[in-house]
Structure 1
Amino acid sequence: MWVLCAVVAGGSVTAAAARLGYTPSAVSQQVAALERQTGTALLERVGRGVRPTAAGRLLAEHAVLIGRQIAEAETALADLCAGRTGRLVVRYAPGSGAGLVAPAVALLRAGHPDVRIDLGPADDDSALADVARGLVDLAVVTRLPGPPDGVPDGVRLEHLMDDAYRAVLPAGHPLAARRVVDLDELAREPWISSGEPGAAVVAGPEIVVTGEDQAAVQSLVAAGLGIALVPQLGLGTRHPGVVVRRVRNPGPVRPVHAALRTAPGGHPAVLFLLDALRDAVPRGTDRRTPRRPVEAPRTDGPRVPRPAPAG
């Protein structure tokens, strides 16, 4: 059809041949082949030139439209492949949104404003499953499933940071004046849980109430109902009635990973978001981000670092 368009635009087979770099015979053969396919005459002779028949004019007009659509599709595809457009589906574990995911997405949007972000919270199990099925492009997970399930096939993990737990105490608590608290000093305290496994490292904690989120946990602590262990990423907004203290002996952490598909063909902006997540890790946090994808830790609780050897 492009040859027909050239003939119609040039008004002759010779002009079309010169424009396309073909011989006049090659142009005539292609027009004749197109007439056989359509079953109708597309050109008629007028003096030394030709003009399109009604069918030829109709086909040439559609060819022009198709050419424009192909050019638009090529431009759109180039933008998508460069990560400039498209839709990115991102899920994140509760407690990681404000401190890590939000600033990372802001960095991504600053450099790729035309990429649409479908952002929302999800528990680790469903987020990993959706990544494996190709329904989610990237997920930030904090509690990985243990054996026998492990990480689904087709999913790789990139370590982002180790999110340290902090003790949240009522402002009037006897240990509130300390900068660092030993966990065994808190073992007999009433505990408030947000579903995080941090309290599991304390021997026999008494869970008196479970808060629906980190803000609710802080409010319950401020009311004097108990104390809590909250990951640092979940402490973006501090309640005025609580104090937050570092813990040691042991100092529990939860590893934070980005989960991506191992199969090729994902949205190119995923890699930009991964870099943005690394850049958004709060200062002073133990990143220890490896260059290669890490294997999934076989635990569903926080990881307690081993003490440094003496001497």
Structure 2
Amino acid sequence: MFESRHIKTFHEVIKAGSYSAAARSLGYTQPAITQQMKALERDVGSPLFTRVGRKMQLTEAGEALARHAQAILDSLSTARQQLDAIARLRSGRVRICAFPSASATLIPEAIARLTTGHPGVHLELYEGEPPESLRRLVRGECDIALAFTYPGMHAEVPAELVEFRLMEDLLTVLLPTGHPLARRRAVHLRDLAEERWIAGCPRCSANFLHACAEEGFVPDIAFTTDDNLVVQSLVAAGVGVAMMPALVLSFLCHEKVTGRAVEPHTRRQVSAYALREHLRIPATALVLDELKAVAAARIGC
């Protein structure tokens, strides 16, 4: 293994033509240059220079190393610049795995803030529902995972993950605009017992079934999908109603869909997770801070 300072000195000796000239250029003493070249020759296992009269001439090994010296130094310089940029938050890549409604709301706002303040930080976005998103985080397939839990739900979080609570997301019900209960500001879940329902992801469906059981009925689930746009289209077509988080109301695409608060009130906890050791990576810490800021702004609205 060659030391980078030895390669730099070797390159300067070649350019300057002698140990003494290289010493003057680098601000070293000539004995220091001699010692570094001897150390490099030990690493190479062969002499690098030979004297022809008063001139220094590269040996075959020296010529071979000389052909690579500039590329080695250029590569080290590029690496230093990239590492410095990452440390100073001028660049960096952060991979986020988030559930769909967060991908459509919290993530775009965070990206907009990052683009303004830190344009060199790049985000890669993957969609995934919990608990699979947390498994992907543990496997190293992403750097931050956004996930949610419902009250009373036992959700195992791997010990190596750190949780950052972002916000509580109120559950609502999506109704066709012409539905009789759409005139109300809030709808009691029990009043929808006879409706056909559209259920979501497994975690959301489990909470929905539990909420219905608490109100004394078993819902008629006609469709199941975790695609929020499909849910809206089905509700707009009048083929069912759906219990959805309030985040979804931020991107309602159908004029024929109305969102109303559902009683009794239930909120899901939205959190960001990261591996403990990744918190020391500046870009990851920055993205977490931006997500917290975005969530706090929504809470304050």
Cα-to-partner distance string for 1:77-126 (whole Å, 9 max, x where unaligned): 22233343343221111322212222223333443434443212112111
Q: Note if 1:201 corresponds to 2:207.
A: no
After superposition, the Cα gap between the structure-2 partners of 1:259 and 1:27, relative to the gap in structure 1 and judged at 3 Å, is closer
Partners of 1:272 and 1:101 in 2: how far apart? 13
Partners of 2:254 and 2:29 in 1: how far apart? 82
Structure 2 match to 1:118: 124
Q: Note if 1:67 corresponds to 2:73.
A: yes
Structure 2 match to 1:291: none
Q: Decide which of 53, 56, 59 is 2:58's aligned counterpart.
A: 53
Partners of 2:278 and 2:174 in 1: how far apart? 43
In structure 1, the gaps of 5 or more residues are 288-311
Name the SS for the 2:146 alignment partner. strand
After superposition, the Cα gap between the structure-2 partners of 1:138 and 1:46, relative to the gap in structure 1 and judged at 3 Å, is same
After superposition, the Cα gap between the structure-2 partners of 1:263 and 1:209, relative to the gap in structure 1 and judged at 3 Å, is same
Q: CA deviation at 1:237?
A: 2.0
Greater CA deviation, 54-63 or 83-92?
54-63
After superposition, the Cα gap between the structure-2 partners of 1:30 and 1:180, relative to the gap in structure 1 and judged at 3 Å, is closer
After superposition, the Cα gap between the structure-2 partners of 1:133 and 1:153, relative to the gap in structure 1 and judged at 3 Å, is farther
Cα-to-partner distance string for 1:182-209 (whole Å, 9 max, x where unaligned): 3333344433322423463232142231
Q: TM-score, normalised by structure 2?
A: 0.80
Q: Decide which of 23, 29, 37 is 1:17's aligned counterpart.
A: 23
Structure 1 match to 2:3: none
Structure 1 match to 2:255: 240
Percent sequence identity over matched residues?
Answer: 33
Q: CA deviation at 1:176?
A: 1.8
In structure 2, the gaps of 5 or more residues are 1-6
Q: Note if 1:90 corresponds to 2:104.
A: no
Name the SS for the 1:96 alignment partner. helix
Structural mapping, 1:1-311, within 5 Å: 1-32=7-38, 34-35=40-41, 37-40=44-47, 42-47=49-54, 50-55=55-60, 56-143=62-149, 146-147=153-154, 150-195=156-201, 196=204, 197-198=207-208, 200-202=210-212, 203=215, 204-212=217-225, 213-235=227-249, 236-248=251-263, 250-264=264-278, 267-281=281-295, 285=299
Q: TM-score, normalised by structure 1?
A: 0.78
> What is the root-mean-square deviation in Å for CA atoms of aligned residues?
2.9
Q: CA deviation at 1:174?
A: 2.0
Name the SS for the 1:2 alignment partner. helix
Instruction: Output the amino acid matched with 1:232.
Output: A
Cα-to-partner distance string for 1:113-164 (whole Å, 9 max, x where unaligned): 34443212112111111212222101110237954x6101211111111111
Name the SS for the 2:277 alignment partner. coil
Cα-to-partner distance string for 1:207-264 (whole Å, 9 max, x where unaligned): 231242222223332333332221111231242222222233x211111010111124
Name the SS for the 1:281 alignment partner. helix
Partners of 1:41 and 1:133 in 2: how far apart? 47
After superposition, the Cα gap between the structure-2 partners of 1:45 and 1:228, relative to the gap in structure 1 and judged at 3 Å, is same
Greater CA deviation, 126-135 or 81-90?
81-90
After superposition, the Cα gap between the structure-2 partners of 1:269 and 1:32, relative to the gap in structure 1 and judged at 3 Å, is closer
